[in-house]
Structure 1
Amino acid sequence: MALSASVRARLGVTVSAATLLLASGSAWAQAGGQSSPQGADQATAVDDIIVTAQKREESIQDVPIAVSAFSAENLDALKIEGGSELVRAIPNVTFSKANFSMYNFSIRGIGTKAISASSDPAVAVSFNNSPLIRNRLFEQEYLDVQRVEVLRGPQGTLYGRNATGGVVNMIPRLPDDVFEGVVKGEVGNYNSRRMSAMVNLPITESFGVRLAGSSTKRDGFDYNSFNDTKVNDRDMWSTRFSAAWEPNDRFRTNLIWEHFEEDDQRSRTGKQLCTTDPGPSRVGTVNITSSVIQNRLSQGCLPGSLYSDAAYGVPNGGAFAHVFLASLSFGDNAQGVPVQAVPLGTDPYAGLTQSRNLREIATSYDPVFRVKNDVVQFNMEFDISDQLKLISQTAYSEDNYYSSQDYNRFVSNPIFNSTDGLFDSLRQPIIGPSALPGGYYTDPQLGTSNRMVSVDLSRSDNRQWSQELRLQSDFEGRFNFSIGANYLDFKSQDDYYVFNNLFTFLAEYYYNNAVGLPSNQGRQKLLCTPQATKECVYVDPTSIDKLAGDGHNYFRSKNVIHTRSWAIFGEAYWDISPDMRLTAGLRYTDDRKVSTPYPSQLLLGADRGNPGPSSGGYVSRGYPALPDIDQRWDAVTGRLVLDWKPVTPFTDDTLVYASYARGYKGGGANPPRVDINPQVIQYQPLAETFEPEYVNAFEIGMKNSLYDGKVRLNATAFYYDYTDYQVSQIVDRISLNENFDARSMGLELETVFQPTRNLRIDANLGYLKTRIGDGEGSIDVMNRTQGNADWMVLRPWLQVPSNCVAPTKHVQTILSRPFPDNLKTGALQALCGGSLRTGTFDPNYTSSVPFWRLFGFTYDPLTEAPNGGRGFEADLSGNELPNSPNWTANIGAQYTFFLGDWDLTIRGDYYYQGSSYARVYNTEYDRLRSWDNANLSVTLERSDDGLVFQAYVKNLFDKTPITDAFTNSDDTGLTTNVFTLDPRLVAFSVSKRF
């Protein structure tokens, strides 16, 4: 791929800087390393970092794995205060929040793009070596950390869950035998107030405890112009208690309990963008003059660039099936003329535009964000002998998540007509519960409004228990080993809701109106009970905060998962010679996942065979479960590594290694779709499950220390061969997971240069090339026809969630007939499979409205249309994997002035991420532009007193890049949720260690 001039320039700066580092080191060495008389610029070696990447303590330069590690001091210097900011210091790493309750941390193009509740993370997140399937380590801020390790590449042997992309391991500080404490306070822009504290208490010679806590409060980053409020704020706190006991030299144990809590208006997603689709004005030779017909041929939003002015439009709300159906007549005026609840042809968003500011939204419903997370870990180590150690790790975690926000982040026009002065069919004034005085409608979850209001809710509750046992040797000879076994039990319930007051309105006024009542009772709503005389749709009367969850007046995706996994694993280390080692590891994993499917029930009721509208459902209330989906896989994975420590004339220490690793990640079940009766509404079935993914990973690397330890230079090259990589998209209102074969290759360079005790420079560079395998394909919901003019996109019946394609010639035939719009729209819906109760194009089916006789053709969308009417597959061969920028780079420098008792350090960091794609289709709509980020800090420290003053600026140039994007469902217009960075943050802090 050709690079733009700006990209080449930025990368040139980074590469040139790395070259300059080596050249400077060489010059310094040739000069003999002479220091100034004061010694202020005396050269010092780069601090070594001890890591546990191979479950034993080793220097990071001795580990034959691509691993980046950061001590607490490194994290503070780089102003990395949470997991999401690690991207600024590691090559070929990206991060973005996901649309629901999790995130996508991607390493070398491999991340968690499968968002099903049953999918596993590709990059495992571990707390002190214990894997956590659900966690908040990328939302909470680091607290009293010893170090953070990021292992790149599949880690299938030693770590507690198979991770095809890598591992992020956060290791907290534990009690030691020295009394100490620290208190830190910080203030900044957005009215930021942050506090943290730690105290280490050695109770006896063998027992100690450590307490740490932090709190962050900050005003909102985003502006809600409709409510004139600041949203996307922070109000969160963390605590950690740890205790360590070492009664003798052979036995050690510790207990850690960490609690995190957040209750604020954090936005789960960013702004919602849309290039408005007005619908076609002409089909074949037929001009379309009716807005109703034009809307029914619109998909809501078009696949335009997210960076164009047009992207700040709104969806064609007239295309929504719930808006179209709400045009029912619900009363007559004094002249006996019917009045519609919502005027036919209404577009709730007509004439609206959005601010071009990604940090400005317009919503009547401010976000709500609540999280509670607890992790408890109990560790024991017993030295069986001087050469053998037995290690036990037991961990338990709970995570409760609740996030609600406006579904669209823009406000509709008023749409409801008023019942004031209207009469029902019995000529009685419309009063009481049926009335909409002033055109205002009251929804039990969303309150009273004359506009269309839509809110979503993502909620999850889960718990996890894991146990690991390991036996490690430390023989003096040429052979050592590590063997172990672990077990994990994970239970989760994830709910996703979409509330819309038109959904409730349709339930109450369309399905739940009684018929045949005595004239003295007027127009009444039908109570939705098992004894109801006709089909009804139950309306949940509870509020969002206390939701019963059994209503059919909202969309609910309920996902219940139980995962049980056990594994046995081991690694053997054989020193072939004093400078060469062979590492061989194997792992056998047995995974079992039980998914309990609960189909969605939006606007579905029990059909009792009575006159009136038929929704196609089986039940009126509640969410009956389908039979469990019980899946089981087993896999043998492992790695083989040969590393060599040659003696060279130009380095102090060198490690060269080559490795092969086999990685595996379990499959899962796709969420169930609508619980629809195929005798009423037909649509194409989708895959019930998705496959596990596997990777064969090849890597070569070199780690070097040069110039008496003043330069550290590491380089890595890798090649991945992926089978069945898991990627999701929204289809039929569910997260449909698909599998694609892919290839990935790249290069990574990491260097640290510290020529004097004053100056330190860090830099890294990553190059990544990914390619989806030949012959892979998928249906792009934004472009179902793939440019084929013989087919068109149509809007379906209300209960059918997704758009369809139909022959253009049939659409033209329907539109050319001199029939009313409602008959034409019914025919167009039938082209999508439609409702057999309202007609079919099957000539052998006799219905109340036989469309085939009216329009003169026969058509079966399930057999005659591509993929059952879903559309044409896009050819993905050779496309890049999502969130896989070709280039990432970072360079940072710090200089310390030694001023007597005080040290003054000035540091700057610059990060660059190249362009990438948000989806596998690699269209202009999917493109994510390159972006960069700069940070500055100034630190004044007096070590003798443990006193530190610091001022910093993060996101110096206040950039607002789009870091990722998510395409919403067809029936809400294919809008796009985008994600971005925090704005510029300026703060000043004081800390005191004692």
Structure 2
Amino acid sequence: MKGSFLARAACTTSIAAIAVLGATPGYAQEGEESAAPAAGVEAAKPAQDGNTIIVTAQKREESILDVPIAITAISADALDSQKIEGGSELLRAVPNVNFSKSNFSMYNFSIRGIGTKAISASSDPAVAVSFNNTPLIRNRLFESEFFDMARVEVLRGPQGTLYGRNATGGVVNLIPAMPTSQFEGEIKGEVGNYDTRRMSGMVNVPLGDTLAVRASGAWTKRTGFDYNTYTQKHVNGRDLWSTRAIAEWTPSDRFSANFIWQHFEEDDNRSRTGKSLCTRDPGKTMIGDTPVVDGPYDYVPLASKFSQGCLPGSLYDDAAYGAPNAEALAFIAAGRIVLPMGTDPSTDMPRYAFLPGDPFGNVTQSKNLREIATSYDPVFRAKNDIFQLNMNFDVSDEVQLISQTAYAKDRYYSSQDYNRFVSAPIFEDSSGLTDGSGIPISQDFASPGGIFVDPQLGPSNRLLSVDLSRSRNRQWSQEFRIQSDFSGDFNFNIGMNYLNFKSTDEYFVFNNAFSFIAYNLYNRKGGNDKYYDCQPTTTDVDCVYVDPNPIDSLNELGHNYFLSRNLIETESWAIFGEAYWNVASNVKITAGLRFTKDTKTSTPVPSQLLLGAGTNGSSGGSVAGGYPEGTPIVQKWSEPTGRLVIDWQPDLGFTDDTLIYGSVSRGYKGGGTNPPRPDIDPFVVQYQPLPGTFKPEYITAFEIGTKNSFDGGRFTLNATAFYYDYQDYQVSQIVDRISLNENFDATSWGLEFEAAWRPSRAFRVDANLGYLKTRLKEGAQSIDVMNRTQGNEDWVLIRPWLQVPSNCIAPRDLVETILASPLTTYGGIGFPALGALCGGSQELGTFTPGSPGVPLYQFYGFEYNPLTDAPNGGRGFYADLEGNELPNAPRLTFNIGAQYTAFINGGDWELTFRGDYYRQSESFARVYNTEYDRLKGWGNANLAITLTRPASDLAFQFYVKNVFNDAPITDFFTNSDDSGLSTNVFTLDPRIYGFNVTKRF
């Protein structure tokens, strides 16, 4: 075989275990080859010189020094030397990049403050993730691990010309290693803590002079990072594998083609989110000058009516390790007010369904973010396939035609404990209870011995709640390009592409209290001993259909669970082109324009939790079971984007190579629809109108930058400054059980520096620094679900009744009127009367459900309609957001790495020590920038020791990631009002150490 072991290291990710010379953003090792396929089509070719790396950022092979884009290219060897093993760790190599998992099936990869804070199924990522230049709307960048890569390119700033839609923040382009003309292979094995076992390998086989095949794969299995003290099991483990096969055919000098298949699969107990934190809200004992006093018939403390479950306290305080005030949850209150299980014959008094007291009242969580206590261990499954066909035809010596066809399919399934902590016993013992006639009640759907058997979750005496996030997606795309390589001053790159994407995203929440209420409140015939045979098609009675199947075989018709189903189809056409004009020997103008036509079709499917059939029925629903689809909503946008760049390559004398450039570019990302709200009869609940759609995003970006190489490539320095004018940035929050997407205008500016210094063969230092300042523009406002009153003492937060999903605010004087009235003190109707203040309906809260009646608050002598008499229909006061920072946009990001190689026995053995430290400053998780939103700055240190014997193509490596075992909160998600506004947090992996052996042949 030709060449040294190190010279071939960049051809594959797995050989990166050697890590002798480490990582330099954008630059390869001295003397190594760059494994860069020509725009995703041809096999790897040598770099233009020994110190630069070839990239395809402009969809053509170019030295990174000649590309007037802020780009970081990380070779296979660099990925491993810094122990960057997946997409979540790219932030350590790229300035002004942030990453965090989101609550559902995707993640937020942000560049310069621009990421994906919209979690709606109809929203698109703002940073385009591409596999070999094919954009993937859904992908497993977070879950999968890098293997057999040529490099990863991260392009910062809008890339609206060549990459098009969904590239407002930038592009992450994953470039696999392509087949070569020589037989070679590799195998790597690793063991580590958490019982880690990993294997990876590659084999490259030339078949004659025109065909070559490359096959590679990787497998990881380990026990969980987190410990569940309740089930006494380790969870958040990994069992995943990937494989890739590439065949490349070059029958002539003018034509080449390759076919790529990549598969990823995972089946384990990965946790989709971390711990759930909460600063418990005990409620209020005084409203103004009026005490909150329970009457003799109040089965739920009135103080809980003024509790939102959790307060917006700092997540870093000890108080945050509590649990929501569950007495404030509407479904708990319903079981104690309107759901008597039966009569106790010994006292002749009713016994209500749920035991008194707060089922979460005694919950005290461990301060260790990696220690949880839940009654249900997570289940995680994912599967992803990518098929890509690339063809390259040289029309002439100077003009090339490129075709790229791709099909991708993605499946995702993740289920875990929704509450993230264990409740006290909740169900009343129904044994021995009788109906009003003294007849023992049926125990079919009751709770004998305090045990209730939920059809999905099984038997328990405690409150069980489990969620399930599931998605099924498929995408295919076609792109044609014609690009020139003239020897003169003018060249071009023009093309067109088509993309079709279909997605079904579903989110379930199962709760045994929901099923209990469905059976016993809505499905009883009367007399407490019989139940309706309620079916999805039942219309003669107002009943709620209960799905009888376990969680893995649902009929998906039940109204005893929450289901948000989102059906999305996106179709996109585009034509684009770039022209490159050398107006002088060292000055070039790049002008690009793209026209995109998007059509997005969303089919609304309203949720149906505890809603049954019957006109004006007590449940407020319209169907007993099933999830009827609404009329599809079709949105269309036709948008131009593009860029104009001037770059200059002066001969400065004190540099080897210098590029100075300035650019202005325009980016666009499509809008979408907000999911429909629950399908509740407006006679029962009238919602304050919310927008049914959200707007597209637009960005105008100005950038200047320079790239420099000194001292024969031993020292490199890149610097960039940018300014963004952002229009309609998309941000989501949960409102009325849906992900409500809002739009905000913002500005962003910053600086970036990347440097690498290699004074000798043995020593190397590299670093990057990012500075970022983001601001929301004038007029930005939004209702903060954690602080709906915004400190206005004339208004009071109220928890609503069962059918109303979100909290509201009500006038303090009316609340005091209700609290001070004898109807509350002695009549026992204060709890539902207060809830009626959130209604906005003439029926809600009346004595005669199902027919027109008198609202309870009219008994107190006043008229009130929250839709017209309260701010924003009772939703709350707007928070002024002008000048606030964008979420997940730390002011500073910084990474420094150094390595030293000792040459042993005349260079027969090489021992390399590598250390890296990453740091980001504090940021905010939401646009409100409150103390609750604050994310503290955090750091991450990594070490590696590698021993190689180049002559034997053999390497041994020991590494430690997250040396100090830090567990920072990297981001969080605020849950819905009707679950108490708890907070799911995300953190880093713990300290991981491993030992691996790599052998090439």
TM-score by length of 2: 0.92
Pick closer, same or farther for the CA change 1:308–1:472 going to 2, 3 Å.
Answer: same
Whether 2:126 is the aligned partner of 1:115: answer no
Correspondence 1:898 to 2:913: no
Once the two structures are superposed, the pairs formed by residues 714-753 of structure 1 within 5 Å of their partners are: 714-753=718-757
Which residue in the other structure is 1:301 paired with?
Answer: 310
Instruction: Check if 1:851 corresponds to 2:862.
Output: no
In structure 2, relative to structure 1, the CA distance for the partners of 1:972 and 1:516 (3 Å cut) is closer
Measured against aligned partners, the alpha-carbon deviations of 1:963-988 in whole angstroms (never above 9, x if no partner) come to 00110000000000000000000000
1:72 aligns with 76
Structure 2 residue 718 is the aligned partner of structure 1 residue 680: no
Whole-angstrom distance in 2 between the partners of 1:531 and 1:826: 29
Q: Does 1:356 align with 2:361?
A: no
Q: Distance in 2 between matches of 1:414 and 1:896?
A: 61
Match of 2:327 among 313, 318, 330: 318
Q: 1:395 aligns with which of 374, 389, 406?
A: 406
Partners of 1:903 and 1:264 in 2: CA distance: 38
8 A contact 1:570–1:586 mirrored in 2:
yes
The 8 Å contact of residues 239 and 260 in structure 1, kept in 2 or not, is answered as yes
1:264-304 deviation per Cα after TM superposition (whole angstroms, max 9, x unaligned): 00000000000000001101121123362111110000000
Relative to 1, partners in 2 of residues 1:282 and 1:903: Cα closer, same or farther, differing over 3 Å? same
SS in 1 for 2:746: strand
Checking the alignment, whether the CA contact within 8 Å between 1:46 and 1:753 is kept in structure 2 is no
Amino acid at match of 1:50: I
8 Å Cα contact 1:379-1:391 kept in structure 2: yes
Q: Which residues of structure 1 form unaligned runs of 5+?
A: 1-20, 22-44
Deviation for aligned residue 1:847: 5.0
8 Å Cα contact 2:355/2:426 also seen in 1: no
Q: How does 1:611-690 map to 2 (within 5 A)?
A: 614-690=618-694
Quote how far apart the aligned CAs of 1:836 are: 3.4
Assess, with a 3 A threshold, how the Cα gap between structure 1 residues 726 and 429 changes in structure 2: closer, same or farther.
same
Following superposition of structure 1 onto structure 2, how do residues 691-730 of structure 1 map, counting pairs within 5 Å?
691-730=695-734
After superposition, residues 835-914 of structure 1 pair within 5 angstroms as 836-839=842-845, 848-899=853-904, 900=906, 901-914=908-921
Which segment is superposed worse, 415-424 or 460-469?
415-424
Q: Could you tell me whether the CA contact under 8 Å between 1:330 and 1:341 is conserved in 2?
A: yes
Deviates more, 1:857-866 or 1:909-918: 857-866
AA paired with 1:916? Answer: S
Q: Distance in 1 between matches of 2:420 and 2:828?
A: 31
Asked whether the 8 Å contact 2:843–2:851 carries over to 1, the reply is no
- The DSSP-based 3-state class of the residue aligned with 1:177 is coil
Looking at structure 1, the residues matched to 756 and 622 of structure 2 have their Cα atoms a distance apart, in angstroms, of: 65
The 1-side partners of 2:505 and 2:445 are apart by 35
Does 2:431 match 1:420?
yes
Q: Which amino acid aligns with 2:634?
A: D
Once the two structures are superposed, residues 529-571 of structure 1 have per-residue CA deviations (whole angstroms, 9 ceiling, x without a partner) of 5456420000011111112111100000000000000100000
Counterpart of 1:979 in structure 2: which amino acid?
F
Residues 560-592 of structure 1: CA distance to partner in whole angstroms, max 9, x if unpaired?
Answer: 000000100000000010100000000000000
Moved more, 127-136 or 161-170: 161-170
Paired with 1:850 and 1:493, the residues of 2 have a C-alpha distance of 41
Q: Compute the displacement of 1:528 (Å).
A: 3.5
Partner of 2:386: 375
Conserved 8 A contact 1:838-1:847 = no
Are the structure 2 counterparts of residues 741 and 625 from structure 1 closer, same or farther at C-alpha, using a change threshold of 3 Å? same
* Structure 2 residue aligned with 1:35: none
After TM superposition, give the deviation of residue 681 of structure 1 in Å.
1.4
Q: Is the CA contact (8 Å cut-off) linking 1:765 and 1:888 kept in structure 2? A: yes
Partner of 2:578: 571
8 Å Cα contact 1:514-1:526 kept in structure 2: no
Aligned to 2:15: none
Q: Give the whole-Å Cα distance in 1 for the aligned partners of 2:926 and 2:405.
A: 38
SS of 1:389's equivalent in the other structure is: strand
1:458-511 CA-partner distances (Å, limit 9, x unpaired):
000010000000000000000000000000000000000111101000000000
Give RMSD over aligned pairs.
Answer: 1.7
How far did residue 208 of structure 1 move?
A: 1.1
Q: Does the residue aligned with 1:775 lie in a helix, a strand or coil?
A: coil
Q: Who is 2:342 aligned against?
A: 331
Question: Which residue number in structure 2 is paired with residue 29 of structure 1?
Answer: none
SS in 2 for 1:112: coil
1:481 counterpart = 2:492: yes
Letter in 1 for 2:175: I
Q: Is the 8 A contact 1:513 1:526 kept in 2?
A: no
Q: Residue 164 of structure 2 contacts residue 594 of structure 2 at CA under 8 Å; is this kept in 1?
A: no
1:539 lines up with 2:539 in the alignment: no
CA distances 1:645-665 after superposition (whole Å, capped 9, x unpaired): 011122111000000000000
The verdict on how the C-alpha distance between 1:852 and 1:443 changes in structure 2, with shifts beyond 3 A counting, is closer
Q: Report if the CA contact (8 A) 1:797-1:834 is conserved.
A: no
For the pair 1:590 / 2:602, whether they are aligned, the reply is no
Residue 365 (str. 1) matches residue 371 (str. 2): no
- Secondary structure in 2 matching 1:814: helix
- Report if the CA contact (8 A) 1:273-1:977 is conserved: yes
**Distance between the aligned counterparts of 1:598 and 1:822, measured in 2?**
38
Cα separation, partners in 2 of 1:489 and 1:529, compared to 1, 3 Å: closer
**SS of equivalent to 1:661:** strand
Q: TM-score, normalised by structure 1?
A: 0.93
Whether 1:148 and 2:159 are equivalent positions in the alignment is no
Equivalent residue letter for 2:749: M
Is contact 1:51–1:58 with CA below 8 Å preserved after alignment? yes
Q: Does 1:927 align with 2:934?
A: yes
- For 1:285 and 1:46, the matched residues in 2 are separated by 79
Cα distance in structure 2, aligned partners of 1:746 and 1:529: 57
Q: CA deviation at 1:945?
A: 1.1
SS at match of 1:708: helix
- Find the counterpart in structure 2 of residue 386 from structure 1: 397
Shift of 1:84: 0.6
Q: 1:243 to 1:822 in 2, by over 3 A?
A: farther
CA distance, structure 2, for counterparts of residue 156 and residue 947 of structure 1: 44
Is the contact made by 1:772 and 1:880 (CA closer than 8 Å) also made in structure 2? yes
Letter in 2 for 1:383: D
| Maintained 8 Å contact 2:202/2:215 | yes
The match for 2:837 among 831, 834, 845 is: 831
Cα drift, residue 139 of structure 1: 1.2
Matched with 1:40 is: none
Give the counterpart letter for 2:157 in structure 1.
G
Counterpart in the other structure of 1:494: 505
Alpha-carbon contact 1:948-1:992 (below 8 Å) kept: yes
* Partner in structure 1 of residue 987 of structure 2: 980
Paired AA for residue 281 in structure 1 = T
Is contact 1:191–1:218 with CA below 8 Å preserved after alignment?
A: yes
Q: In structure 2, what is the equivalent of residue 991 of structure 1?
A: 998
Shift of 1:864: 1.0
| Partner SS, residue 639 of structure 1 | strand
Q: For residues 816 and 611 of structure 2, what CA distance do their matches in structure 1 show?
A: 32
8 Å CA contact 1:761, 1:891 repeated in 2: yes
User: 2: CA distance between counterparts of 1:529 and 1:249?
Assistant: 65
Contact 1:716 1:749 in 2 (8 A): yes
Residues 131 and 160 of structure 1 are in contact (CA less than 8 Å); yes or no, is this contact kept in structure 2? no
Deviations 1:624-683 (A, max 9, x none): 011111000010010000000011122111000000000000000011110111112112
Cα distance, 1:436 vs. partner?
1.5
> In structure 2, what is the Cα distance between the partners aligned to 1:206 and 1:725?
49
Q: List, as ranges, runs of 4+ consecutive aligned residues in structure 1 with deviation greater than 6 Å.
A: none
Counterpart residue identity of residue 752, structure 1: A
